[in-house]
């Protein structure tokens, strides 16, 4: 070192303070760093060549450097060799040199030997060779020149640049190597030597850890498989590639936090208490849903509170729920052997939307406390379980049998609480029903003129089969003429048939309840002539048949004539003939037909034919419930020997009656006693042999329908209302099938029991004339309930089932308006006139359009256009089965009942009958007009006559007709007083 001028020496030391040493990257692993050691111990050869000097770096940390500057001497060959550097796992090795180098031109007096480069060498060795150093064994890596050399010698302002050069070593194969620096006459200071290799450092990507990875020496990427962090699992195997530059590339796949754990940074942490995570994934934990909790950390679900549950299908995010409460307000509408059950939704649905209903049917045998599960082919429509609506029809029950139906509400968690059954029960008794149809008919024998047939009893006889009706006719005759036979058993031989002819045949069974449905048509053929039986026998058959037909015909004709004679001589209403020729055919014996008690010479004979005599001691009267035409109506109990005590209504005949009054009073029982239908009030019997004379009927807890509806205004569901109407229609169908015309069908004459079953009552013969306070005298002297009666019945006493249908329409209106009085306070005279002119009652509030249409159909002027009761029942059944059809609400009817037409239909007296103009406008459903009339300042009927045509035009009635009509009506109003009696 002696040869280095002090000036140069200074140069080397001072740069360190001004230069800057950049830090190395984190993916670089050092094998050697000269700065890190104070005692390098490198070998310098010759010894006056490279010189080791102590200095400080930019942070004033002491470092060791080497320098050489023999520029003044020739033939320089100075070597500096590092210690042995183990290679470790490195494949690709880098050497980073930091040095300063002096520009030869800047050195004064320099010889021609001055150099500006030095050489870098390496030598591989599997182990440390000690101090042995043979230059010739080294391999040159590169000649190192300075990018930045310094020339300035101004000590005060020297800008010295540190050169950094990096070279790759290798490829290496042995365990280690040496580096050597050869100087051939330059002025160089080796500030630091760093030997390193690159690696891809440990990292966490997509919740997978990737270890430190050393790249290969080649250009190929190293594929590395990641491992999921704790509490996570692989969704897709995590992988990454480590590049030769020590960089991670292309992350693929990922891990997801386990259930109960959520992502926080690069790890999965347990959910806190009160939180849960039910699925693997990188979502956050969620708060426990309502009615659930968890006290533990890392929960994958929250447990339900006591009495709350979660079904297997419920997601963990759903609130815990519970079974629903029981259904409410079960009502039953019985029709022979079927029943429509209807109920309201439970108050508590348990917090779920999947509530359905299950119906359990139990048959209760008389005298037995326990009921047994229904057996046999009971049908549930639409089904028994999983009902989504609050109604079901149960069909094919046994006739005259007690049943209990349990309607259970269930939801998705009900099965988790098997002991918790929430149901509402209803007990019913089915009625008499006609037998089902004969399904199987067998041909036993055929001959030229006869056929022997047998068949199976109907599947549901619903009672004792009295006989079978066998109807047959020639196929080509198309039923224009046919023969009817009656068979006691299940076989018959038809004689007197034509040879080689095709016949059609139908059979139906008859019980006390009437005929069942006919069997399907059965076709058979008689044998051709060649199979003929003897001539005599066929003649005998023919004579027998002719005689039988002759006998039947003469009996029928005699019966008909007698009936006509009796009805003409006895009936007060010549229009009403009790013998019928249904469809041109004589009503055959066996079909139940109403018999007018007045056709009996001795009325007491009729009463004892149709009504049972009760012993007065069996009857206990409790209280008076109302007043009838002939005396009080009481409630009480009937206890007949070997029968259960039942609640009854007792109509009494007041003392001091005349014989005619007694006969009229009892005629109601004679009529009622002929009926047996769930919607007709049932007669228990009469007391005629002691006083007071009494008629005892079943007790109807809710009394008359009109007052019942008024008391419960707006409280029933539409289905309940339609159920009641259906019952009334079914009762009326039965009456019309029996040939009975009621003449006073009105809500006041319908009784309602505790199950909301409606039954037709009030059958007295004279009551239409005398008993009904609604009845008014007509111009012909009769007394008629005008508002309920069809125009032809008012006009010329044409009382028929079709006029009953008109009255049914009014009952329909009464029911839908909760007992409103038809035509309000209009006088009878005005009602007759308005109806005659085409006016019809408007739809009651919130009345389904389908029901209003039915009303209008019942009020067809031409009675032939009105529906039959059978059709009404079927329409109502359809509505009940399809409750959504009741959702369309009737508006103000359009033509021919548009506001204009309605107004046209009114006369001044119409208007006079209303309490106020508002009532009238309300009733005509011209509410917009009402508002606008108010707008033009009417306040009472007296101010309206002053209304001009212009005013009427103002309120939007622009058609000339209605304008004139309203104005003239309003003007005439002055001349009428409100309650003028109008003779009819």
Task: Kindly list the catalytic residues.
Answer: 744
The angle at the Cα of 122, spanning 120 to 123, to the nearest 5 degrees, equals 160
Check whether 633 is labelled as a binding-site residue: yes
578, 650 Cβ separation under 8 angstroms? no
- The minimum distance between CB 722 and ligand ACK, in angstroms, equals 22
Q: Is the CB of 238 or the CB of 628 nearer to ligand ACK?
A: 628
- Which helix (DSSP H) or strand (DSSP E) does residue 196 occupy? strand 187-198
Could you tell me which residues are beta bridge partners of residue 234?
255
Quote the least distance from Cβ 822 to ligand ACK, whole Å. 18
Least separation in angstroms between CB 650 and ligand ACK: 9
Q: Which residues pair with 402 in a beta bridge?
A: 364, 429
| CA–CA separation, 91 and 82 (whole Å) | 20
**Three-state SS sequence of 801-863:** HHHHHHHHHHHHHHHHCCCCCCCCCCCHHHHHHHHHCCCCCCCCCCCEHHHHHHHHHHCCCCH
**Which of 228, 669 has the CB closer to ligand ACK?**
669
**Which tokens belong to 43?**
């070998």
Query: How distant, in Å, are the alpha carbons of 289, 352, 547, 763, 813 from that of 324?
Result: 19, 8, 71, 47, 37
Q: Minimum CB separation from ligand ACK for residue 651, in Å?
A: 7
Closest CA to 397 of 423, 421, 379, 371: 379
Judged by CB, which is closer to ligand ACK: 206, or 702? 702
CB closer to ligand ACK, 681 vs 730 = 681
SS3 413: coil
Looking at the DSSP assignment, which residues form a beta bridge with residue 233?
A: 256
CB of 357 to ligand ACK, least distance (A): 32
**Smallest separation (angstroms) from ligand ACK to the CB of 403:** 24
Q: Which residues, 6+ apart, have CB-to-CB distance to 762 below 8 Å? A: 668, 744, 749, 771, 772
- Closest to ligand ACK by CB, 137 vs 707, is 707
Closest by Cα among 737, 762, 736 to 747: 762
* H or E stretch at 444: strand 441-446
Shortest spacing between CB 425 and ligand ACK, in angstroms: 24
* Residue (of 603, 657, 604, 660) closest to 630 by Cα position: 657
Q: Is 166 annotated as a binding residue?
A: no
CB of 604 to ligand ACK, least distance (A): 23
At CA 9, angle to CA 5 and CA 10, rounded to 5? 120
- Looking at the Cβ atoms of 409 and 649, the one nearer to ligand ACK is 649
DSSP string, 628-660: -SSSEEEEEEE--TTS--EEEEEEEPPTT--HH
The helix/strand/coil state of 625 is: strand
Nearer to ligand ACK, 219 or 715 (CB): 715
972 annotated as a binding-site residue:
no
Which residues lie below 8 Å from residue 555, measured CB to CB, with a gap of 6+?
A: none
Structure tokens at 506: 């139908």
For ligand ACK, the closer of residues 596 and 771 by Cβ is 771
- The terminus-to-terminus CA distance of the chain in angstroms comes to 152
Which residue's CB is nearer to ligand ACK, number 756 or number 826? 756
CB of 631 to ligand ACK, least distance (A): 10
Q: How far is the CB of 704 from ligand ACK (least distance, A)?
A: 3
Q: What stretch of H or E contains 662?
A: helix 659-672
Is residue 680 classed as helix, strand or coil in its secondary structure?
strand
Cβ distance to ligand ACK smaller for residue 633 or 849:
633
Which H or E run includes 522?
Answer: strand 522-525
Note the residues at the interface with ligand ACK (CB under 6 A): 625-626, 628, 633, 649, 681, 697, 699-700, 703-704, 707, 751
Work out how close the CB of 390 gets to ligand ACK at its nearest, in angstroms, rounded to a whole number: 29
> Which neighbouring-strand residues pair with 695?
651, 686
Report whether 673 belongs to an annotated binding site: no
- Comparing CA positions, the residue from 860, 845, 794, 779 lying closest to residue 815 is 845
- Residue 632 labeled ligand binder: yes
| Residue 172, token pair as written in the block | 């290496």
From CA 909, how far away is CA 970, in angstroms rounded? 10
Task: Read off the tokens for 58.
Answer: 């930019």
The span from the CA of 748 to the CA of 630, in Å, is 17
Closer CB to ligand ACK, residue 707 or residue 717?
Answer: 707
Q: Is 795 annotated as a binding residue?
A: no
What is the edge-to-edge ordering of all strands in the sheet holding 208-210?
Answer: 203-205, 208-210, 227-228
594-619 in b/e form (b: 16+ CB < 10 A) is: bbbbbbbeebeebbbebbeebeeebb
Give me the least distance between CB of 689 and ligand ACK, in Å please.
22
Residue 529, SS3 per DSSP:
helix
Nearest to 782 by CA among 984, 485, 961, 550: 984
DSSP reduced 3-state for 231: coil
631 versus 962: smaller Cβ distance to ligand ACK: 631
Q: How many helices (H) and strands (E) does the chain have?
A: 17, 49
Instruction: Look at strands 441-446 and 379-381 and give their pairing.
Output: unpaired
The two tokens of residue 174 are 């042995």
**Binding-site residue positions:** 625-633, 651
**Binding-site residue positions for ATP:** 625-633, 651
């Amino acid at each position: 070192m002696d040869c280095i001028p002090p000036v140069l020496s200074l140069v080397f030391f001072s740069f360190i303070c001004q230069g800057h040493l950049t830090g190395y990257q984190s993916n670089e692993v050092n094998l050697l760093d000269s700065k890190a050691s104070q005692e390098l111990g490198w070998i310098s050869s010759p010894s006056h060549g490279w010189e080791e000097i102590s200095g400080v770096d930019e942070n004033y940390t002491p470092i060791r450097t080497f320098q050489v500057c023999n520029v003044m001497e020739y033939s320089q060959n100075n070597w500096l060799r590092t210690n042995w550097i183990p290679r470790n796992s490195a494949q690709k090795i880098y050497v980073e040199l930091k040095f300063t180098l002096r520009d030869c031109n800047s050195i004064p007096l320099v010889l021609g030997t001055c150099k500006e480069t030095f050489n870098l060498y390496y030598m591989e060795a599997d182990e440390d060779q000690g101090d042995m150093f043979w230059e010739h064994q080294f391999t040159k890596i590169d000649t190192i020149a300075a990018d930045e050399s310094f020339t300035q010698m101004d000590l005060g302002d020297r800008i010295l640049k540190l050169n950094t050069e990096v070279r790759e070593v290798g490829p290496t194969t042995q365990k280690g190597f040496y580096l050597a620096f050869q100087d051939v006459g330059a002025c160089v200071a080796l500030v630091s030597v760093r030997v390193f290799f690159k690696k891809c450092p440990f990292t966490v990507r997509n919740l997978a850890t990737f270890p430190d990875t050393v790249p290969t020496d080649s250009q190929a990427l190293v594929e590395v498989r990641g491992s999921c962090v704790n509490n996570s699992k692989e969704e897709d195997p995590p992988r990454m590639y480590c590049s030769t530059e020590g960089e991670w590339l292309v992350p693929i796949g990922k891990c997801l936090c386990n259930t109960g754990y959520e992502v926080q940074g690069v790890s999965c942490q347990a959910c806190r208490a009160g939180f849960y995570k039910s699925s693997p994934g990188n979502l956050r934990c969620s708060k426990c849903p309502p009615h659930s909790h968890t006290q533990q950390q890392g929960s994958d679900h929250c447990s339900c509170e006591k009495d709350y549950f979660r079904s297997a299908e419920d997601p963990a995010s759903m609130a815990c729920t519970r079974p629903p409460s029981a259904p409410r307000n079960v009502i039953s509408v019985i029709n022979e052997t079927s029943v429509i059950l209807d109920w309201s939704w439970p108050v508590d649905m348990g917090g779920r939307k999947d509530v359905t209903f299950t119906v359990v049917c139990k048959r209760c045998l008389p005298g037995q406390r326990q009921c047994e599960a229904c057996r046999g082919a009971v049908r549930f429509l639409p089904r028994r379980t999983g009902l989504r609506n609050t109604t079901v029809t149960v069909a094919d029950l046994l006739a005259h049998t007690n049943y209990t139906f349990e309607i259970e509400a269930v939801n998705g968690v009900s099965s988790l609480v098997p002991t918790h059954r929430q149901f509402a029960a209803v007990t019913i008794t089915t009625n008499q029903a006609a037998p089902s149809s004969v399904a199987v008919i067998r041909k036993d024998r055929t001959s030229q003129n006869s056929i022997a047939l047998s068949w199976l009893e109907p599947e549901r006889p619903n009672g004792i089969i009295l006989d079978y009706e066998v109807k047959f006719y020639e196929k080509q005759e198309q039923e224009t003429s046919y023969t009817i036979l009656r068979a006691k058993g299940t076989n018959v031989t038809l004689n007197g048939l034509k040879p080689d002819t095709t016949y059609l045949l139908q059979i139906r069974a008859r019980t006390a309840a009437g005929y069942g449905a006919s069997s399907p048509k059965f076709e058979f053929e008689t044998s051709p002539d060649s199979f003929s039986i003897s001539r005599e026998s066929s003649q005998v058959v023919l004579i027998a048949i002719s005689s039988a037909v002759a006998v039947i015909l003469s009996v029928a004709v005699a019966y008909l004539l007698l009936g006509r004679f009796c009805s003409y001589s006895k009936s007060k209403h010549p229009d009403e003939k009790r013998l019928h020729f249904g469809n041109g055919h004589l009503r055959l014996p066996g079909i139940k037909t109403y018999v007018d008690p007045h056709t009996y010479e001795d009325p007491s004979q009729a009463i004892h034919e149709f009504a049972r005599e009760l012993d007065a001691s069996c009857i206990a009267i409790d209280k008076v419930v109302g007043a009838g035409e002939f005396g009080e109506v009481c409630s009480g109990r009937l206890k007949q020997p070997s029968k259960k005590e039942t609640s009854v209504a007792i109509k009494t005949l007041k003392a001091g009656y005349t014989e005619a009054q007694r006969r009229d009073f009892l005629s109601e029982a004679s009529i009622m006693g002929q009926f047996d239908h769930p919607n007709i009030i049932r007669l228990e019997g009469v007391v005629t042999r002691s006083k007071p004379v009494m008629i005892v009927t079943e007790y109807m807890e809710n009394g008359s329908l009109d007052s019942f509806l008024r008391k419960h205004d707006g409280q029933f569901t539409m289905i309940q209302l339609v159920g009641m109407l259906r019952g009334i229609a079914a009762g009326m169908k039965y009456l019309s099938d029996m040939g009975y015309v009621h003449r006073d069908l009105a809500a006041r004459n319908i009784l309602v029991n505790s199950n909301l079953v409606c039954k037709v009552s009030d059958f007295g013969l004279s009551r239409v004339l005398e008993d009904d306070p609604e009845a008014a005298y007509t111009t012909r002297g009769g007394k008629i309930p005008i508002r309920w009666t069809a125009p032809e019945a008012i006009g010329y006493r044409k009382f028929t089932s079709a006029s009953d249908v008109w009255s049914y329409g009014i009952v329909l209106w009464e029911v839908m308006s909760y007992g409103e009085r038809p035509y309000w306070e209009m006088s009878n005279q005005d009602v007759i006139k308005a109806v005659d002119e085409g006016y019809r009652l408007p739809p009651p509030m919130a009345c389904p359009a389908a029901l209003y249409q039915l009303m209008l159909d019942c009020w067809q002027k031409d009675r032939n256009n009105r529906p039959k009761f059978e059709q009404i029942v079927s329409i109502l059944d359809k509505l009940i089965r399809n409750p959504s059809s009741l959702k369309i609400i009737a508006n103000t009817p359009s033509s021919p009942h548009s506001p204009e037409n309605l107004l046209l239909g009114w006369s001044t007296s119409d208007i006079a009958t209303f309490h106020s103009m508002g009532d009238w406008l309300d009733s005509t459903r011209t509410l917009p007009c009402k508002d606008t009339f108010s707008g033009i300042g009417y306040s009472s009927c007296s101010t309206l006559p002053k209304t001009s045509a212009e005013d009427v035009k103002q309120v939007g009635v622009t058609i000339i007709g209605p304008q004139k009509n309203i104005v003239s009506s309003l003007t005439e109003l002055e001349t009428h007083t409100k309650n003028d009696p109008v003779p009819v």
